[in-house]
Amino acid sequence: MLQTTWIALVLGFWSSLYLLDVFLKSKKPVARPYLSFLDKTGLTISACQVRWYTCIFNRVFLRVGQWKPHFLRIWFTLGIIFSLLAMVASIFLLSLLVINTLRQAPVEHQVLTPVMPGVNLPTNQISYYMLTLLVCGILHEVGHAVAAVREQVRINGFGLFLLLLYPGAFVDLSTEHLQAVSPLRQLRIYCAGVWHNLVIAVLAALVLLALPGMLVPFYSLGASVVVTDVVPNSAVSGARGLKIGETVTRINDCHVKSISDWSACLSASMQEKWTGHCLPLDLIKELDASPFNTLANKSHSQWEVIDCCNSTSPTHLCFMYHTKKSAETKYACLPARPATDRPMCRLQSDCYVPKIDAACVYPAVDNETKLLRVFHGQRPPLLFLGHPLDLYYSVSLSNYVPKISIIPLNLPYVIETFCKYIISLSGALVILNVIPCYALDGQYIFHAFVELALRPAVPDPEIRSLIFSLVILFGTLLLLINVVLAMWTLLF
């Protein structure tokens, strides 16, 4: 249902925009001003696409491309070496994936997986995805532009576009100038985009690794975790539940110093069979609010869940226990908070106190349900009764606890998520763009490489053209097969 809604919204938006564009161009009173506006702003609207083209950045590219020309020459030459190696690696990797699929060998992860909102991209992650694509696309094209200036190729303009939900960028280079320079200089220009994609992926990885140290002046680490979100109407929401900005330090007697500790504590609680609290027998009788004779003359199986409170109060819970004098299971309806404030126990022997008869009382619940005490903030512990996974999925936590209240809670998460998207998408753009395929950078990279490497050995341009065409055809088919396999895996 969510996928259908998203498709309807996207198609509705683009249909409305296209029809509005057609209407304004065909209506005489507004057609001239509207066309003048499009011409001045550089906007172009077509089916499912909006483009913006400008020349205002040409001077910036010119200045950057003329900065330290010797350094830029070495920089973009490194880009050639990396791109050629990446081309070989990408062809090998994608070919291996196809072979393994045909041999029905297990393939855990597809390298090129189409991203579809509502299918494999959560709706709350769309903004990260689109922003990352835009940033990676812009820096990719900036690489081409700066390299073109360095190799004395004229830049006509720069632009951005939005195709359905996929933003991107492009740079308009002079075709005549580009074809006039040597194959080696062409390679520096063509490989610059892929090279910059690798660089920004590496920079994002370094930021991700250095993030804990970078945020130390503003956030505390290693002492507790902080609540960043609570699912509305969940078991831990409400006035007595967890609050955004509160720290969580313990679950029962398990200390929580990080998100991994939180998961480990909840996992341990699911594996524990019994966890109770030590109460003196006199106190049990004093606090017991069970209706008179509720359980009298009734036999209960070992696994039967007993409700000895009969909904007496939302603050009470049915507990079971044994005494030294009798092996018979007894039940008591006790106020949950005073009962759980007592020392924890797992065996009756844990409650031994000289001259005092005490028992280890356990919640009378099924094996999947647990009674957990979550220590949070300065308030009394939260009593959670249910499956620990419900608690896990009801809250979002962060390892970064702000030192003062004005520091944003979600800033570390935003930086981490953005860096992970850059590493993933920029790396995917490297693999995609170096493949010798029609309409991708790999087509132009391979053509320049053929002219540079094979011209001395193969002087006939027709033979070189045939080699180029065969490799490009192979690369195009290889990419299409991988995309089809990825789509098949995703949808079926």
Task: Measure the CA–CA gap between 348 and 281, rounded to whole angstroms.
Answer: 13
* Given 141, 246, 286, 462, the catalytic residue: 141
Task: Measure the CA–CA gap between 92 and 97, rounded to whole angstroms.
Answer: 9
As given in the structure block, the two tokens for residue 385 are 């009764």
List all residues 6 or more positions away from 48 whose beta carbon is below 8 Å from its beta carbon.
14, 18, 163, 164
Task: For 264-364, list the strands marked E by DSSP.
Answer: 276-280, 316-321, 330-335, 344-345, 358-363
CB–CB of 326/283 below 8 Å? no
Q: Give the Å distances, CA to CA, from 345 to 47, 126, 231, 376.
A: 68, 47, 32, 22
Task: Measure the CA–CA gap between 410 and 253, rounded to whole angstroms.
Answer: 28
Q: Give the Å distances, CA to CA, from 216 to 178, 210, 219, 396, 412.
A: 49, 10, 5, 21, 11
Three-state DSSP string of 79-92: HHHHHHHHHHHHHH
Identify the H or E element spanning 376: strand 370-376
CB–CB of 174/153 below 8 Å? yes
Please, where are the H alpha helices in 27-165? 28-41, 58-65, 69-102, 126-150
Instruction: Determine how β-strand 247-251 pairs with β-strand 370-376.
Output: antiparallel
Q: Is 151 a catalytic residue?
A: no
Question: Other CB atoms closer than 10 Å to residue 486's CB: what's the count?
Answer: 18
CA neighbor of 80 nearest in space, from 190, 172, 156:
190
Q: Which residues are catalytic?
A: 141
